[in-house]
């Protein structure tokens, strides 16, 4: 990558901010401020997971309009062919997903079709658990796949938080780790140091006392805490600077999800070592995508918000030349039944598409669309196991070892340009 | 009252392990003998503070002073066997908890409040230890009443008999439900309880085989947790011979508990874990060093006796143990609360502690909270910083329950000049480097912002700087 993180910091924080640090702070602190902590393999790629809670109807998201079975199974829910954003002679995006169509055309969006797993679970809790722990054979496993991922790369010399959950609901199980504490935040402010009322800015930072040498040199924990305190102060400063720098320049629609993505973008920009961001759309649990009746209007609004928010995020990162570092991935606990249910809604299904967004994608449409007639108990059959996508993201994107995280080596997909 | 930062003492008393001491550290006889103060390791505020951080959740000024005049052994006596009517206190809190047991949030808040108010903090410290050891998670149990009973069970045995505790745990519906062992049929022996029993609660890996797990599961057949109640269904019990850890017989669940307790590996697991909790987590204890404790614990499984040996010992009061543990979030927050003698909203506190990685009643996995360096990353440190700020700022969700200036005045300080060293001693018990004190002093006073003459504000800032020092995160 020609554009380094340091260049970026200079660009966003402005030379003056950095200079003001250099005057006041001793050398080793400046070094840690400038360079951050060394990444184990020098990768600075970031994964952004978007959970669509409730079970998204993949058929009405990326529509197989060219297959007559679609219209036949969806007498009231079928979307008019003329309104679709056509990808090819078979598939088209939902009418309100114009933003996704544009991203797709620009090469910033991929669709992985027919993603699922054997013996699909049709309960929200059970299916979500499977996507979170990535181990359908051991539903009682106590850690989530991303929790295991951060545990697998933990080392005592790296004191940045490796993952965060951004959102107002309880932290999803995917992030449950055995060892590492993964913070839940709602805004960047939750990761910056607050201020005692009536006290001049940044003067009450503990960094001055933290950097002094200590008499108890034999205590490894004291040195560790000194180092962590300085790193935490430095990260907090970076986040404050990055938040300030981006507030006025970036256009995001006024959706909650867009605000979440803005937070993620600010934290990527701050470059504080967070490799995994987990976000949620739909309200958690049995969420907004669970449309058993009168699905059309609600689903339409959700897809519109999703595509507009993701597009704003992509363009924000692109403007700062950060898009090549980011990969966004959506998932939902299941798709819906092919046939609508008589109440203008759909039941719990199985396979569904996953969206990927970012600057390093290989191709647009990945895998074939599942058959609308050869079904798994009324729902689409999968032909790409979701753990192959997880494995690809871990091995090829994050540089973590997927075998450690997923328990075995899944066949990787050739979907990333890395 | 003369509070003074004794610079000379801090200079002379380097906390590095003296070579002569280092040699003794591996000598079990010296290590576990009761500590007698001498010129090299005098009994002072530093040692008293250390004792209260480990055996309690920190202390107020009066407790520290009392301990200083009591001497180490008497101070330990009082922590082990407080001369108060504990039954009355615990009955009252059991009542509060029972009425709050509709929600786990209520239970979390009452437990924290109990920890703040209890006359027997060591009991709560040990209850928290066992909570992490058996690691029963409310998200799985989904029944606050069962969780309440589970923690009450832990408390009732926390300083008693590990044997009785393990027996009760093996019949605790909360534990069985949490582990997925709520049905154990003859035709399908369920390993979900016996596996963690052997792997984490007692023996540790390497001290049992897969066959032991399978056979032990058969011994536990017939036990169910149905609608939150423990049931034994005789026709579901496998009455055939089982072979477990070298013994064979027509064993039932209780026999499994007896057999694992007969293994020295069980005593070793608990001694090692308690060593990390009470003494030092920077390195695993040498097998020779802990051998006498293991041997003694294996005989009677008397937890109080084990804790007593550790807390009275030379090793406990040696530099090898000093600040050699990272505080868990509960210890961090309550260290501030106890020092400032207030009672804050524990509903809010429980939530904030969850954000720092310690959600009471919700240990992350069956291994409990790993803790140690894992508590700390740049996000959780900023979280601790902001929690301390919220506790000390005098407004907001914690209101004005903690007031450093008022506490200092209560203990005889009348000026800013005398209060700052007092607060330093209160929070850190003299265990500091003089430069650090000077720098904190300067940082708190230097930029004469608005109301810099107002001692209340200056001292809140000063206190905040002290509790965000690297030292304060160490127990």
Classify residue A414 by burial, with Cβ atoms within 10 Å: 0-12, 13-18, 19+: exposed
Cβ proximity of A176 and A289 under 8 Å: no
Please state the domain count of chain A. 1
* Residues of chain B contacting A272 with CB distance shorter than 8 Å: 378
Bridge-partner residues for A329, per DSSP?
A: A49, A356
What pLDDT score does B322 carry? 94
CB contact set of B42 (below 8 Å; sequence gap of 6+): none
| B421 against A203, higher pLDDT | B421
Region of residue B135 (left: phi > 0; alpha: psi -120 to 50; beta: else): left
**pLDDT class of A208 with cuts at 50, 70, 90:** confident
DSSP H or E segment with residue B417: helix B416-428
Q: Is the pLDDT of residue B35 over 50?
A: yes
Classify residue A280 by burial, with Cβ atoms within 10 Å: 0-12, 13-18, 19+: buried
Calculate the dihedral angle through the C-alpha atoms of B433, B437, B439, B445, rounding to the nearest 10 degrees.
180
Q: Which whole-number Å values give the CA distances from A152 to A161, A162, A213, B357, in the listed order?
A: 14, 11, 32, 18
Q: Is the pLDDT of residue A353 over 60?
A: yes
End-to-end Cα distance, chain A: 11
Q: Which of A389, A295, A285, A297 is nearest to A337 (CA)?
A: A295
Q: Is the pLDDT of residue B59 over 70?
A: yes
Q: Is the pLDDT of residue A49 over 60?
A: yes
For A188, the closest chain B residue by CA position comes to B379
Q: Which of A375, A360, A361 is nearest to A59 (CA)?
A: A375
φ and ψ at A25, to 5 degrees?
-100, 150
Q: Is the pLDDT of residue A344 over 80?
A: yes
Please check whether residue B102 lies inside any domain of the structure: no
Q: Is the pLDDT of residue B12 over 50?
A: no
Rg of chain B over Cα atoms, rounded to whole angstroms, equals 24
What pLDDT score does A188 carry? 95
Cβ proximity of B435 and B461 under 8 Å: no
- Contact state of B17 with A231 under an 8 Å Cβ cutoff: no
What pLDDT score does B431 carry? 60
- Domain CATH number, residue A80: 3.40.720
A169 touches chain B (CB under 8 A): no
Q: Which of B316, B271, B297, B303 is nearest to B75 (CA)?
A: B316
Helix%, strand%, coil% for chain A, nearest 5: 40, 15, 45
A217 touches chain B (CB under 8 A): yes
To the nearest whole Å, the CA of A159 is away from the closest chain B CA by 5
Once rounded to an integer, what is the mean pLDDT over residues A310-326? 96
Q: Is the pLDDT of residue A10 over 70?
A: no
Kindly write down the DSSP assignment for every residue of A9-60, as one continuous string.
HHHHHHHHHHHHHHHHS-HHHHHHHHH-SPPTTS---EEEEEEETT---GGG
β-pair type (A326-332, A46-52): parallel
Three-class SS state of B378: helix
Q: Is the pLDDT of residue A14 over 60?
A: no
Three-class SS state of B278: helix
Q: Among the listed ranges A10-24, B5-19, B155-169, which one has the minimum average pLDDT value?
A: A10-24
For B373, the closest of A160, A213, A224 (CB atoms) is A224
Rg of chain A over Cα atoms, rounded to whole angstroms, equals 23
What pLDDT score does A321 carry? 94
Please check whether residue A417 lies inside any domain of the structure: no
Three-class SS state of B461: helix
Q: Distance between CA A293 and CA A207 in Å, rounded?
A: 57
Once rounded to an integer, what is the mean pLDDT over residues B108-113? 98
- Contact state of B460 with A198 under an 8 Å Cβ cutoff: no
Once rounded to an integer, what is the mean pLDDT over residues B392-396? 95
A126 touches chain B (CB under 8 A): no
- Contact state of B364 with A229 under an 8 Å Cβ cutoff: no
What pLDDT score does A260 carry? 97
Domain with B299, as residue range(s), is 162-324
Size of interface A-B (CB pairs under 8 A): 177
Please check whether residue B131 lies inside any domain of the structure: no
Q: Distance between CA A396 and CA A362 in Å, rounded?
A: 13
Q: What is the pLDDT of residues A218-231, one digit of tens each?
A: 899 999 999 999 99
Q: What is the pLDDT of residues B237-291, one digit of tens each?
A: 999 999 999 999 999 999 999 999 999 999 999 999 999 999 999 989 999 999 9
Taking a contact as any Cβ pair under 8 Å apart, which residues of chain B between 163 and 202 contact chain A? 180, 192
Q: Distance between CA B373 and CA B19 in Å, rounded?
A: 27
Q: Show the CA angle centred on residue B27, arms to residues B22 and B29, nearest 5°.
A: 135
Tell me the torsion sign for CA atoms B366, B367, B372, B376: negative
Cβ proximity of A12 and A243 under 8 Å: no
Average pLDDT for chain B: 93
Bridge-partner residues for A116, per DSSP?
A: A385
**pLDDT class of B178 with cuts at 50, 70, 90:** very high
Distance of alpha carbon A305 from its chain centroid, rounded? 16
What pLDDT score does B410 carry? 97
Query: pTM of the prediction?
Result: 0.92
- Ranked by mean pLDDT, which of A6-10, A356-360, A363-367, B83-87 comes out on top? A356-360
A95-100 long-range contacts, CB within 8 A, separation 24+: A95/A300, A96/A300, A96/A301, A96/A303, A96/A304, A96/A307, A97/A61, A97/A303, A97/A304, A97/A306, A97/A307, A98/A307, A99/A307, A99/A308, A99/A310, A99/A311, A100/A307, A100/A310, A100/A311, A100/A355
Q: Is the pLDDT of residue A11 over 50?
A: no
Q: Distance between CA A22 and CA A33 in Å, rounded?
A: 9
To the nearest whole Å, the CA of B185 is away from the closest chain A CA by 19
Q: Which whole-number Å values give the CA distances from A235 to A29, A260, B273, in the listed order?
A: 12, 20, 34
Q: Which of B69, B52, B73 is nearest to B427 (CA)?
A: B52
| B159 against A248, higher pLDDT | B159
Q: Which residue, among A204, A213, A240, would best test binding to B if mutated, counting the most B CBs under 10 Å from its CB?
A: A204
DSSP assignment, residue B314? Answer: T
Please check whether residue A238 lies inside any domain of the structure: yes
Number of H helices, E strands in chain A: 12, 12
* Residues of chain B contacting A210 with CB distance shorter than 8 Å: 469-470
Cβ proximity of B343 and B372 under 8 Å: no
For A178, the closest of B364, B383, B439 (CB atoms) is B364
To the nearest whole Å, the CA of A148 is away from the closest chain B CA by 12
β-pair type (B223-226, B229-232): antiparallel
Taking a contact as any Cβ pair under 8 Å apart, which residues of chain B between 352 and 381 contact chain A? 355-357, 364-367, 370, 373-381
What pLDDT score does B20 carry? 60
Tell me the torsion sign for CA atoms B186, B200, B306, B358: negative
What pLDDT score does B385 carry? 97
Please check whether residue A414 lies inside any domain of the structure: no
Q: What is the pLDDT of residues A229-287, one digit of tens each?
A: 999 999 999 999 999 876 656 789 999 999 999 999 999 999 999 999 999 999 865 56
Percent with pLDDT over 70 in chain A: 86
**pLDDT class of A163 with cuts at 50, 70, 90:** very high
Q: Is the pLDDT of residue A34 over 70?
A: no
Once rounded to an integer, what is the mean pLDDT over residues B23-35? 88
For A225, the closest of B15, B322, B376 (CB atoms) is B376
What pLDDT score does A3 carry? 41
Bridge-partner residues for B223, per DSSP?
A: B232
Cβ proximity of B401 and B344 under 8 Å: yes
Once rounded to an integer, what is the mean pLDDT over residues A161-171? 95
Please check whether residue A126 lies inside any domain of the structure: yes
Please check whether residue B11 lies inside any domain of the structure: no
Percent with pLDDT over 90 in chain B: 86
Please check whether residue B313 lies inside any domain of the structure: yes
User: What sections of B84-193 are H helices per DSSP?
Assistant: 86-100, 104-117, 121-134, 138-141, 144-157, 162-169, 173-179
Q: Distance between CA B107 and CA B89 in Å, rounded?
A: 16
Taking a contact as any Cβ pair under 8 Å apart, which residues of chain B between 419 and 448 contact chain A? 433, 435-436, 439-440, 442-444, 446-447
Q: Half-sphere exposure of residue B218, counting CA atoms within 13 Å on the CB side?
A: 17
Please state the domain count of chain B. 1
Three-class SS state of B220: coil
Q: Distance between CA A294 and CA B93 in Å, rounded?
A: 50
What pLDDT score does A32 carry? 41
**pLDDT class of B23 with cuts at 50, 70, 90:** low
Please check whether residue B382 lies inside any domain of the structure: no
- Contact state of A215 with B10 under an 8 Å Cβ cutoff: yes
Bridge-partner residues for A376, per DSSP?
A: A379
- Contact state of A164 with B379 under an 8 Å Cβ cutoff: yes
A180 touches chain B (CB under 8 A): yes
Distance of alpha carbon A344 from its chain centroid, rounded? 31
β-pair type (A92-93, A109-116): unpaired
B473 touches chain A (CB under 8 A): yes
Three-class SS state of A115: strand
What pLDDT score does B439 carry? 85
Q: Distance between CA A143 and CA A163 in Å, rounded?
A: 14
Percent with pLDDT over 90 in chain A: 77
- Contact state of A215 with B15 under an 8 Å Cβ cutoff: yes
What pLDDT score does B164 carry? 98
Q: Distance between CA B125 and CA B108 in Å, rounded?
A: 15
Average pLDDT for chain A: 88
Q: Is the pLDDT of residue B453 over 80?
A: no
What pLDDT score does A38 carry? 41
φ and ψ at B313, to 5 degrees?
-80, 160
Q: Distance between CA A265 and CA B265 in Å, rounded?
A: 51
Domain with A65, as residue range(s), is 5-406
* Residues of chain A contacting B398 with CB distance shorter than 8 Å: none
Please check whether residue B238 lies inside any domain of the structure: yes
For B436, the closest of A140, A209, A224 (CB atoms) is A209
A228 touches chain B (CB under 8 A): yes
Q: Is the pLDDT of residue A386 over 90?
A: yes
For A198, the closest of B324, B442, B451 (CB atoms) is B451
- Contact state of B365 with A176 under an 8 Å Cβ cutoff: yes
- Contact state of A192 with B382 under an 8 Å Cβ cutoff: yes
**pLDDT class of A198 with cuts at 50, 70, 90:** confident
What pLDDT score does A203 carry? 58
Q: Is the pLDDT of residue B39 over 60?
A: yes
**pLDDT class of A27 with cuts at 50, 70, 90:** very low
Give the number of residues written for chain B: 475
CB atoms within 10 A of CB A212: 16
* Residues of chain B contacting A140 with CB distance shorter than 8 Å: 180, 192
Once rounded to an integer, what is the mean pLDDT over residues A303-307? 97
**pLDDT class of B17 with cuts at 50, 70, 90:** low
ipTM for the complex shown: 0.93
Q: Which residue, among A170, A175, A181, would best test binding to B if mutated, counting the most B CBs under 10 Å from its CB?
A: A181
Cβ proximity of B430 and B8 under 8 Å: no
**pLDDT class of B18 with cuts at 50, 70, 90:** low
CB contact set of B83 (below 8 Å; sequence gap of 6+): none
Cβ proximity of A87 and A365 under 8 Å: yes
């Amino acid at each position: 990558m020609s554009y380094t993180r340091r260049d970026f910091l200079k660009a966003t924080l402005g030379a003056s901010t950095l200079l003001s640090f250099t005057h006041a702070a001793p050398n080793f602190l400046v070094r840690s401020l400038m360079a951050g902590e060394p990444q184990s393999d020098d990768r600075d790629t970031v994964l952004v997971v978007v959970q669509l809670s409730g079970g998204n109807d993949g058929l009405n998201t990326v529509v197989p309009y060219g297959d007559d079975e679609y219209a036949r199974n969806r007498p009231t829910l079928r979307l008019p062919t003329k309104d679709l954003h056509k990808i090819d002679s078979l598939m088209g995006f939902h009418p309100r997903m114009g933003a996704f169509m544009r991203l797709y055309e620009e090469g910033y969006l991929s669709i992985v079709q027919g993603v699922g797993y054997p013996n699909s679970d049709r309960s929200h809790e059970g299916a979500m658990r499977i996507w979170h722990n990535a181990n359908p054979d051991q539903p009682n496993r106590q850690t989530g796949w991303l929790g295991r991922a951060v545990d697998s790369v933990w080392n005592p010399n790296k004191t940045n938080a490796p993952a965060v959950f951004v959102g107002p609901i309880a932290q999803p199980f995917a992030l449950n780790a055995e060892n590492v504490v993964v913070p839940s935040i709602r805004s960047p402010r939750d990761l910056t140091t607050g201020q005692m009322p009536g006290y001049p800015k940044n003067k009450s930072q503990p960094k001055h006392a933290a950097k002094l040498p200590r008499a108890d040199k034999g205590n490894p924990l004291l040195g560790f805490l000194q180092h962590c305190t300085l790193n935490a102060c430095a990260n907090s400063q970076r986040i404050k600077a990055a938040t300030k720098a981006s507030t006025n320049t970036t256009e995001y629609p006024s959706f909650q999800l867009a605000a979440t993505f803005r937070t993620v973008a600010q934290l990527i920009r701050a470059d504080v070592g967070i490799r995994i961001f987990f976000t949620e759309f739909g309200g958690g649990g049995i969420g907004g995508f669970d449309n058993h009746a009168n699905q059309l209007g609600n689903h339409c609004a959700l897809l519109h918000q999703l595509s507009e928010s993701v597009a704003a995020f992509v363009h924000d990162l692109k403007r700062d030349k950060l898009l090549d570092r980011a990969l966004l991935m959506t998932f939902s606990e299941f798709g819906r039944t092919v046939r609508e249910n008589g109440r203008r809604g759909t039941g719990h299904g199985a396979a569904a598409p996953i969206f990927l967004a970012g600057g390093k994608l290989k191709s647009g449409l990945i895998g074939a669309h599942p058959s609308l007639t050869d079904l798994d108990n009324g729902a689409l059959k999968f032909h790409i196991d979701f753990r192959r996508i997880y494995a690809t993201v871990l091995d090829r994107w994050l540089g973590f070892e997927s075998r450690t995280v997923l328990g075995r080596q899944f066949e990787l997909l050739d979907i990333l340009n890395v | 009252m003369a509070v003074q930062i004794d610079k000379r003492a801090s200079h002379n008393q380097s906390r590095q392990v003296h070579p002569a001491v280092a040699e003794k550290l591996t000598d079990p006889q010296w290590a576990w003998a009761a500590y007698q103060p001498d010129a090299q390791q005098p009994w002072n505020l530093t040692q008293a503070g250390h004792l209260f951080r480990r055996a309690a959740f920190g202390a107020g000024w009066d407790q520290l002073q009392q301990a200083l005049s009591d001497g180490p052994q008497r101070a330990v006596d009082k922590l082990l066997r407080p001369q108060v009517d504990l039954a009355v206190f615990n009955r009252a809190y059991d009542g509060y908890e029972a009425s709050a047991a509709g929600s786990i949030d209520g239970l979390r808040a009452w437990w924290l409040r109990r920890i703040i108010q209890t006359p027997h903090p060591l009991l709560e410290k040990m209850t928290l230890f066992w909570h992490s050891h058996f690691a029963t998670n409310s998200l799985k149990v989904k029944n606050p009443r069962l969780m309440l009973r589970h923690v009450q069970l832990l408390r009732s045995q926390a300083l008693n008999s590990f044997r009785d505790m393990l027996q009760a745990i093996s019949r605790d519906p909360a534990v069985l439900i949490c582990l997925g062992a709520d049905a154990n049929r003859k035709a399908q022996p369920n390993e979900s309880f016996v596996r963690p029993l052997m792997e984490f609660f007692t023996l540790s890996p390497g001290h049992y085989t897969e066959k032991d797990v399978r056979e032990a599961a058969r011994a536990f057949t017939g036990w169910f947790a149905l609608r939150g109640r423990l049931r034994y269904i005789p026709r579901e019990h496998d009455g055939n011979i089982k072979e477990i850890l070298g013994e064979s017989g027509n064993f039932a669940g209780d026999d499994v508990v007896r057999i694992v307790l007969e293994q020295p590996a069980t005593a070793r697991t608990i001694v090692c874990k308690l060593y990390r909790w009470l003494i030092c987590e920077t390195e695993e204890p040498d097998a020779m060093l802990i051998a006498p404790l293991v041997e003694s614990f294996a005989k009677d499984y008397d937890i109080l006796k084990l804790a007593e040996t550790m807390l009275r010992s030379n090793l406990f009061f040696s530099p090898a143990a000093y600040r050699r543990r990272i505080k868990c979030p509960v210890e961090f927050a309550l260290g501030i609360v106890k020092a400032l003698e207030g009672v804050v909203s524990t509903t809010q506190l429980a939530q904030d502690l969850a954000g720092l990685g310690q959600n009471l009643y919700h240990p992350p996995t069956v291994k409990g909270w790993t803790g140690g360096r894992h508590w700390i990353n740049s996000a959780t440190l900023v979280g601790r910083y902001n929690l301390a700020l919220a506790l000390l700022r005098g407004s907001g969700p914690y209101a004005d329950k903690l007031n450093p200036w008022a506490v200092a005045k209560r203990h005889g300080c009348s000026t800013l000049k005398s209060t700052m060293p007092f607060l330093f001693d209160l929070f850190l018990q003299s265990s500091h480097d003089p430069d650090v004190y000077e720098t904190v002093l300067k940082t708190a006073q230097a930029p004469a912002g608005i109301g810099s003459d107002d001692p209340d504000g200056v001292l809140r800032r000063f206190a905040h700087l002290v509790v965000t020092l690297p030292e304060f995160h160490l127990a």
